[in-house]
Amino acid sequence: MTPATPTKNVAVRALAQVPRILRLRFVRRRKVSDFRIRSLGEEVGNLPNLITLSRLALIPVILVFLDRGTPTGHYWAALLFLFAGFSDFLDGYLARRTGKITLLGKFLDPLADKLTTLSIMVTLVAMELIPSWLLILMLFREFAVTGLRALAMGEGVVIAASESGKQKTAFQFFGLTFLLVHFPYPLWGTGWWLDYHRMGLFILYLSLILSLFSAVEYFALFMEAVERKNLQRARTLQEAAREAGLLVEMQSNPSLPVIEEIEMQVSLDSGRAPDDPRPE
């Protein structure tokens, strides 16, 4: 028995040098529709995306009418802008109703909204119809929120649109519509005249206040969502370490190797996945 003792000690020392690895397994439930199974050509050809593309094509037409500076030009620019706003609602409604929500549509729809709004505002600044600082603050807000959403996506966090953000969009739309009309017109049935330019500026100032408030709200929601996710991941890690008998070692050794094994399940039904984070 004596010769076997050194061999046993060597085996124990060898096992002590083997890294102890904690394995975690996460399940992500998704639907077949979440996977990209259509080509870009097929996505471009569906009706909601065609409506979105038509909204992009309207931008230069609106700017041409606006640049004329005549009452007729302003009238047609405002009318086409109203049509673009209606098409924004229509393409989203059709995409949800027909189940044609595509990756291309998710990219084109906000792009068309931002390009339409910012193109008109830049032209209004060039025509000295709105102050340049208003445009700068609007751009600052848009870039900040866009960057925040990109960070949230990198963290796997979904930030739903806030009520103040939706109100900002509505006020911005009506403010720009009034500014596009620009000229004063009499109110039907009364002896009063409405200065559409001043009214549009007032509504756009309200939109600016709401946009800055919504930016702060987005930042607070982002911090809260990331903190909640980090706590959830830490809790999952602790539970897995406790089951594996490594809880004490994990707490004393932060460099303990961890392997995440991600398993994906695809739901074949048409309903929403149980853990789908998208808002109603």
Quote the DSSP letter at residue 33: G
Q: Which of 27-31, 139-143, 237-241, 275-279 has the lowest mean pLDDT?
A: 275-279
Q: Is residue 87 part of a domain?
A: yes
In this structure, is residue 189 part of a structural domain?
yes
First-residue to last-residue Cα distance in the chain: 72
Considering only CA atoms, which of 96, 108, 116, 93 is closest in space to residue 50?
A: 108
Structure tokens at 220: 């607070």
Classify 224 in phi/psi space as left (phi over 0), alpha (psi -120 to 50) or beta.
alpha
pLDDT bucket at 205, cuts 50 / 70 / 90: very high
Does residue 12 lie in a domain region? no
What is the distance between the alpha carbons of residues 141 and 225, in angstroms, rounded to a whole number? 20
Domain boundary among 86, 108, 129: 129
How many domains does the chain contain in total?
2
pLDDT of residue 144: 87
Q: Burial level of 176, CB count in 10 A (0-12/13-18/19+)?
A: buried
Nearest to 50 by CA among 97, 78, 99, 90: 90
Between helix 163-181 and helix 196-243 the angle, nearest 10°, is: 160
Residue 271, in any domain of the structure:
no
- Domain termination site, one of 129, 164, 193: 129
Q: Is 124 part of any domain? A: yes
Q: What's the CA gap between 4 and 132, in Å, rounded?
A: 87
Q: Is the pLDDT of residue 77 over 60?
A: yes
Q: Which residue has the higher pLDDT, 202 or 17?
A: 202
Q: Is residue 13 part of a domain?
A: no
Closest CA to 137 of 150, 125, 154: 125
The distance from CA 152 to its chain's CA centroid, rounded to whole angstroms, is 9
Same domain, 157 and 248: yes
Give the structural domain span for 164.
Answer: 131-266
Q: Is 236 helix (H, G, I), strand (E, B) or coil?
A: helix
Which pLDDT tens digit goes with each residue over 160-169?
Answer: 667 777 788 8
Residue 258's pLDDT is 61
Residue 142 belongs to some domain of the structure: yes
For residues 135 and 248, state if they share a domain: yes
For residues 160 and 259, state if they share a domain. yes
Would you list the DSSP string of 207-240?
HHHHHHHHHHHHHHHHHHHHHHHHHHHHHHHHHH
Whether residues 199 and 77 fall in one domain:
no
Which pLDDT belongs to residue 280? 38
pLDDT tops 50 at residue 58: yes
Residue 105 CB-density burial (10 A; 0-12 exposed, 13-18 middle, 19+ buried): buried
State the Cα–Cα distance between residues 278 and 142, nearest whole angstrom: 22
Q: Which of 129, 159, 190 is the last residue of a domain?
A: 129
Residues 55 and 139 in one domain: no
How do residues 216-232 score in pLDDT, each as one tens digit?
888 888 888 888 887 88
Which pLDDT value is given to residue 166?
79
Residue 143 pLDDT: 87
Residues 188 and 229 in one domain: yes
H-only helix segments in 45-158: 47-68, 71-98, 103-126, 132-154
Shared domain for 209 and 123, answered yes or no, is no
Please give the model's pTM, rounded to 2 decimal places. 0.69
- Across 9-37, average pLDDT: 53
Same-domain check for residues 146 and 233: yes
pLDDT greater at residue 251 or residue 183: 183
- 142 and 262 together in one domain: yes
Q: Exposed, middle or buried: residue 17 (CB in 10 Å: 0-12, 13-18, 19+)?
A: exposed
Same domain, 54 and 107: yes
One domain for residues 149 and 87:
no
Q: Is residue 6 part of a domain?
A: no
> How much is the average pLDDT of 118-139?
93
185-186/22-31 β-pairing: unpaired
135 shares its domain with 259: yes
**b (16+ CB within 10 A) / e for 118-148:** eebbebbbeeebbeeebeeebeebeeebeeb
